[in-house]
């Protein structure tokens, strides 16, 4: 593992985290349907017959293309037993495994540098694809609809124009290199933006980490969704 570069207080980049030999983009595309009309799901933790890129959303499945315009696919390995899994699901989980193993060293290094308690919960790995004009406006990862401690943003390729990573509080604009992994706290002080892609296709891999899974269990997430709905209704009255 290479020693990280400090780009701003708390914002570190670990170069060459994802090697070309991992072949992540091609391996992922081989498992996803290229038919835009095909019925399919945008996540791997289901033995579904068809997987595909889905329009990326925010919060609780909000779809606002002015705020976020991209396609994504989520991968997570829930158990070691391959029984009942489709061949593509097994391949996708191997991508998850390889991607996580590549990040373990940098995450542990970051945690030690900043005296962060062990981060035992890893969210699904979200592969995000941005074509020309697509973007994600300024946002923080921890906030009203989601709880997390550390944000991890990796870049698989760099053969595109535009698409910089921008931290507005630091006025820091970064043109990532293929293989880069950026780690930073998830709070509002580290709000950031995926600038519009001018040409080509950008593929990133994003995940959030937390101390434990307490705030990510289905029952708690449902309660939080109910609270948000109540707040929305109260705002209309």
Write the CATH number of the domain with boundaries 5-236: 2.60.120.620
* Predicted confidence (pLDDT) per residue in 215-234, tens digit: 787 776 677 667 667 766 77
Confidence of residue 235 (pLDDT cuts 50, 70, 90): low
Q: How far apart are alpha carbons 199 and 184 in whole angstroms?
A: 27
pLDDT of residue 116: 97
pLDDT of residue 70: 96
Mapped onto helix, strand or coil, the DSSP state of residue 137 is strand
* Predicted confidence (pLDDT) per residue in 38-93, tens digit: 888 898 987 777 899 999 988 755 788 999 999 999 999 877 777 778 889 999 99
Q: How far apart are alpha carbons 75 and 27 in whole angstroms?
A: 13
75, 43 contact by CB (below 8 A): yes
Q: How far is CA 208 from the centre of its chain?
A: 7
Helices (H), the chain: 24-31, 87-113, 218-236
Q: How far apart are alpha carbons 157 and 25 in whole angstroms?
A: 9
For 14, phi then psi, to 5°, come to: -110, 110
Q: Is residue 144's pLDDT more than 90?
A: no
Confidence of residue 131 (pLDDT cuts 50, 70, 90): very high
pLDDT of residue 63: 80
Q: How far is CA 161 from the centre of its chain?
A: 21
pLDDT of residue 183: 98
Q: Quick check: pTM over 0.85? A: yes
């Amino acid at each position: 593992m290479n020693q990280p570069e400090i780009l701003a207080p708390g914002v570190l980049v670990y170069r060459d985290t994802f090697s070309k030999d991992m072949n992540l983009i091609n391996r992922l595309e081989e498992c996803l349907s290229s038919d835009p009309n095909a019925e399919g799901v945008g996540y791997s933790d289901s033995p579904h017959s068809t997987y595909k890129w889905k329009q990326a959303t925010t919060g609780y499945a909000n779809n606002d293309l002015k705020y976020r315009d991209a396609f994504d696919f989520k991968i997570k390995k829930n158990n070691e037993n391959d029984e009942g899994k489709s061949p593509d699901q097994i391949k996708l989980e191997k991508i998850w495994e390889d991607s996580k193993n590549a990040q373990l060293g940098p995450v542990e290094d970051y945690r030690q540098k900043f005296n962060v308690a062990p981060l035992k919960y890893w969210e699904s790995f979200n592969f995000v694809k941005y074509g020309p004009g697509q973007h994600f406006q300024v946002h923080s990862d921890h906030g009203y609809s989601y709880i997390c401690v550390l944000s991890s943003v990796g870049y698989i390729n760099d053969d595109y124009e535009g698409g910089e990573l921008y931290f507005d509080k630091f006025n820091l604009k970064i043109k990532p290199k293929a293989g880069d992994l950026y780690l930073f706290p998830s709070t509002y002080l580290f709000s950031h933006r995926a600038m519009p892609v001018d040409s080509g296709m950008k593929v990133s891999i994003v995940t959030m980490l937390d101390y434990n899974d307490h705030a990510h269990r289905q029952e708690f997430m449902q309660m939080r969704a109910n609270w948000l709905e109540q707040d929305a209704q109260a705002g209309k009255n």
